[in-house]
Structure 1
Amino acid sequence: MEIKSVTMNDYESLMELWNSIGMSRRALNPVDDSRDGIERYIKRNPTTCFKAVGDDGKLLGVILSGHDGRRGLVHHLCVDPETQRGGIGSRLVKAAEEALHKEGIEKIFILVFADNEKGNAFWEKQGYSLRTDLNYRNKSLNVNIPTGK
């Protein structure tokens, strides 16, 4: 397995992977995760998005992370269900953390659905603490992007 940078040539396989997993599919929206949305994201964050590729060329996992110059954010992490619990997610997180740190980012956050027990356990193992002192709020400026509950 090899960790490589994500490019727009990966878009179709990224979407296939994300759509194969319920929790990942649930986090997608038709604007931000469209071809144009992902292209915008990768252009803005060209050195902090990674994929894990098997020896056979198959996409095994992906992480999209970026920053605003102050804080890092992991937007998507997804690992093929057949290869989960094999260290791929941890390697992707490490690659993203190192890339963000290289760009001067000292703190990273991630949003995880509260009912995603597997995901929350994974992030806890990666050293990401649960903040219970904050309320997450959002506002959609596009009617095609759901605001959530």
Structure 2
Amino acid sequence: MHYRPMTINDYAAAVSLWQRTPGVRLRDADSFEGIMRYLARNPGLSIVAEKGSDIIGTIMAGHDGHRGFLQHLAVAEPYRKQGIGTALVNRCLDALRAESIDKAHLMLLVDNDAGKRFWTNLGWEFRTDIALHSFVLSANPSA
């Protein structure tokens, strides 16, 4: 298994993996241009796992200067439960620590039970003291 920073050249393979992964929802922000901006703003923080020339795992990470955010963790079905997801998470957290980020957050779809188990097993805390509010800045409801 080879882990490396994600580049925009990985876009097609990453989207294909995300589309096959339950619990990952793609929005218009996940367009080629959107991911290109995200990777440019957060260089070296998003990671892919490769087996041979195939991308079999992804995770994206970024930060706003004081909090980190993880998203789009996905591992191809035949490679799940082998520690690849955990390795991807740990690599992202190490990269965020190197940026002096002390805390990270993630968002899960409420019906993603497998995701809830995964993140709880890694020690992530489900928060009940905050609520997420969103505001769409464009006329696009899929923003």
TM over 0.5: yes
- Separation (CA, whole Å) in 1 of partners of 2:139 and 2:10: 27
1:48 pairs with 2:57: no
SS in 1 for 2:135: coil
**Comparing 118-127 and 135-144, the one that deviates more:** 135-144
Maintained 8 Å contact 1:63/1:76: yes
In structure 2, the gaps of 5 or more residues are none
Q: What do the CA deviations read for 1:53-90 (whole angstroms, capped 9, x no partner)?
A: 01x21111000001000000002211111111110100
Which residue is 1:7 aligned to? 7
Q: CA separation in 2, counterparts of 1:9 and 1:128?
A: 31
Give the aligned CA root-mean-square deviation in angstroms: 1.2
2:77 pairs with 1:87: no
Describe the SS at the equivalent of 1:22. coil
* Structure 1: tracts of 5 or more residues without a match: none
TM-score, normalised relative to structure 1 = 0.92
The alpha-carbon deviation at position 145 of structure 1 amounts to 3.8
Is structure 2 residue 35 aligned with structure 1 residue 38? yes
TM-score (ref. length: structure 2): 0.96
Equivalence for 1:99? 95
SS at match of 1:11: helix
CA–CA separation in structure 1 for the residues paired with 2:138 and 2:132? 19
Name the CA distance, whole Å, in 2 between partners of 1:142 and 1:126. 36
Residue aligned with 2:109, SS: coil
Structure 2 residue 123 is matched with structure 1 residue 127: yes
Describe the superposition over 1:87-116 as per-residue Cα deviations: whole angstroms up to 9, x where unpaired. 010000000000000000000000011210
1:109 corresponding residue in structure 2:
105
1:47 and 1:86, CA in 2 relative to 1: closer, same or farther beyond 3 A? Answer: same
In the aligned structure 2, how far is the partner of 1:18 from the partner of 1:112?
A: 14
SS in structure 2 at match of 1:128: coil
Residue 22 of structure 1 and its aligned partner are, at CA, apart by 3.3
Give, in angstroms, the shift of residue 29 of structure 1: 0.5
